[in-house]
């Protein structure tokens, strides 16, 4: 038996007997004769188990127990009490004591109880060590996913700082910068890691369905609701709910989300009563929420509730040190997935990648490398191969080429009305393509940018043979 035992008791004979018993078992025994010195020894001497008498000459043992549990909640404490004072024992157990033993002490019983306490302490220490290894593993994973530039190391430090708290976190950053990776790292390093992580893109769901997706609905709540459906908040119970692109929430849903955050209750659509929930919220946006607050598009009270802790993921162009690492990582992934023989990027190709602005950030870089690997005819990717996949036709992928003025002015036998209709149709096509490109294929965001509703945009895209999927991969 190994470890350190602290005995806090004003009975000199009892202390001597206990010390002799456990010293013979190989334990290092410390003795304190009053509450103040016992508390000091427990906090400074780092014992593995404390034997604490209820009656002490200065501070009561139960008060010492409360102070110990406030400072060292993991420390096993065994209370010593007279047989007629069982109520004190019950109070001690309610305050966090591991066990109690009545006086006069049965030393065989004491030996068993202390042995169990030492085993429990050792198990907790092992669990804590494992937790630290898991956290370090998650930290390493985030670095593997995003790079190791000073900017990313700062993000990793922030993740470690906020993960253990219960703060609501607002992650800011451009599209494709890695906001969801950061949110998942916060979840994995928190005490909620064994519970669900539920992600919801607030900009990818039609406004008419968004409330049901968030809060869930009861059977019969609306036409087509033939069964009860839990929302993202219920699915994340005990874990973390990640609200991506929260800036796209309609103003009326912002008020309901604020109420959920403040009350810790959720009321499904069609339900008459709210239900308690235990969920941590992390939100992300590529919008300037403060500007949207000033414009009346986002509630100030919700903004401050979400921004209990704010992080900004830097865009790829501000951390060029990560580009080479990420490019090689994406190449390795793509060559295995696509079964291509390409092995490396030339130094000149890396130099070209570092010169690009990457408005789509890491997602855009990954897509460019995948296309280059798919089209590669050599073992090495050179700059000319990258230019083929990074530079599209004027205006970008999917954009209709500009019509020469002479051709546009020629009706080719059509009436003026037909020419106007054709010009309007082409103008609509170009506007929709620009909006889809800016939103990376997100039709809900594109509809908002075009100041139209989701259904109208969907029908227009169908008539113009425009597919949102063409814009989701850069």
pTM > 0.85: no
- Ordered per-residue pLDDT tens for the chain, 474 residues: 678 899 999 888 888 888 888 888 888 889 999 989 999 998 888 888 999 998 888 888 889 998 888 888 888 999 887 766 667 777 888 888 888 888 888 878 888 888 888 887 777 665 555 444 444 444 457 878 888 899 999 999 999 999 988 899 999 999 889 999 999 999 999 999 999 999 999 888 887 788 888 888 888 777 777 788 888 899 999 999 999 999 989 888 899 999 999 999 988 888 878 889 999 999 999 988 999 999 999 999 999 999 999 999 999 999 999 999 999 999 998 988 888 888 899 999 999 999 999 988 999 999 999 999 988 888 999 988 888 777 443 344 334 344 444 444 444 455 666 666 677 778 888 888 888 888 888 888 888 888 888 888 888 888 787 888 778 754
Read off the tokens for 194.
């064994």
Range(s) for CATH 3.40.50.2300 in the chain? Answer: 4-125
d(CA 234, CA 197): 11
Question: How many residues make up the chain in this entry?
Answer: 474
- Tokens at residue 467, please? 């597919």
**Nearest alpha carbon to residue 55 among 8, 14, 21, 87:** 8
- Residues in Cβ contact with 40 at an 8 Å cutoff, skipping those fewer than 6 apart: 32
Which residue ranges does the chain devote to CATH 3.40.50.300?
147-220+228-314
* CATH class for the region spanning 4-125: alpha beta
Rg (CA), the chain: 32
DSSP for 23-59 reads: HHTT-EEEEESSHHHHHHHHHHS--SEEEEES--SSS
Q: Which CATH number fits domain 147-220+228-314: 3.10.270.10, 3.40.50.300, 3.40.50.620, 3.30.300.90?
A: 3.40.50.300
Delimit the CATH 1.10.8.60 region(s) of the chain: 317-390
User: What is the third-level CATH fold of 317-390?
Assistant: Helicase, Ruva Protein; domain 3 (1.10.8)
What string of DSSP letters covers 426-451? HHHHHHHHHHHHHTTT-HHHHHHHTT
**How is residue 330 written in tokens?**
């994406």
CA dihedral 398, 363, 289, 456 (to 10 degrees): 30
């Amino acid at each position: 038996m190994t470890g350190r035992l602290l005995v806090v008791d004003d009975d000199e004979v009892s202390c001597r007997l206990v010390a002799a018993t456990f010293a013979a078992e190989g334990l290092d025994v410390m003795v304190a004769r009053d509450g103040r010195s016992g508390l000091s020894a427990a906090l400074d001497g780092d014992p593995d188990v404390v034997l604490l008498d209820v009656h002490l000459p200065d501070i009561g043992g139960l008060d010492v127990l409360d102070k110990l549990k406030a400072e060292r909640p993991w420390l096993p404490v065994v209370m010593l009490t007279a047989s007629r004072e069982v109520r004190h024992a019950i109070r001690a157990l309610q305050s966090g004591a591991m066990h109690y033993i009545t006086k006069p002490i049965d030393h065989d019983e004491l030996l068993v109880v202390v042995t169990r306490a030492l085993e429990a302490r050792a198990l907790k220490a092992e669990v804590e060590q494992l937790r630290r290894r898991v956290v370090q593993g998650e930290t390493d994973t985030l670095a593997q996913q995003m790079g190791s530039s000073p900017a990313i190391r700062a993000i990793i430090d922030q993740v470690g700082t906020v993960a253990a708290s219960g703060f609501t976190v607002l992650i800011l950053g451009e599209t494709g910068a890695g906001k969801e990776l950061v949110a998942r790292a916060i979840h994995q390093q928190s005490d909620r890691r064994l519970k669900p992580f539920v992600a919801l893109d607030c900009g990818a769901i039609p406004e008419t369905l968004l409330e049901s997706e968030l809060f869930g609905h009861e059977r019969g709540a609306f036409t087509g609701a033939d069964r009860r459906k839990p929302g993202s908040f219920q699915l994340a119970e005990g874990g973390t709910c990640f609200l991506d692109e929260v800036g796209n929430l309609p103003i009326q849903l912002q008020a309901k989300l604020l109420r959920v955050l403040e009350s810790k209750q959720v009321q499904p659509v069609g339900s008459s009563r709210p239900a308690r929930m235990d969920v941590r919220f992390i939100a992300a946006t590529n919008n300037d929420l403060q500007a949207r607050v000033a414009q009346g598009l986002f509630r100030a009270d919700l903004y401050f509730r979400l921004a209990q802790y704010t992080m900004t993921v830097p865009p790829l162009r501000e951390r060029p040190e990560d580009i080479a690492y990420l490019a090689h990582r994406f190449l390795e992934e793509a060559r295995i997935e696509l079964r291509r023989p390409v092995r490396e990027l030339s130094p000149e190709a890396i130099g070209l990648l570092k010169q690009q602005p990457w408005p789509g950030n890491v997602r855009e870089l990954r897509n460019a490398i995948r296309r280059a690997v798919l089209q590669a005819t050599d073992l090495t990717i050179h700059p000319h191969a990258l230019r083929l996949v990074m530079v599209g036709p004027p205006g970008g992928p999917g954009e209709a080429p500009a019509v020469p003025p002479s051709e546009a002015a020629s009706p080719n036998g059509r009436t003026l009305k037909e020419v106007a209709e054709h010009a309007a149709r082409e103008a609509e096509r170009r506007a929709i393509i620009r909006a889809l490109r800016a939103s990376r294929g997100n039709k809900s965001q594109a509809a908002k940018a075009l100041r139209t509703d989701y259904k109208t945009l969907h029908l227009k895209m169908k008539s113009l043979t425009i597919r949102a999927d063409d814009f989701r991969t850069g």
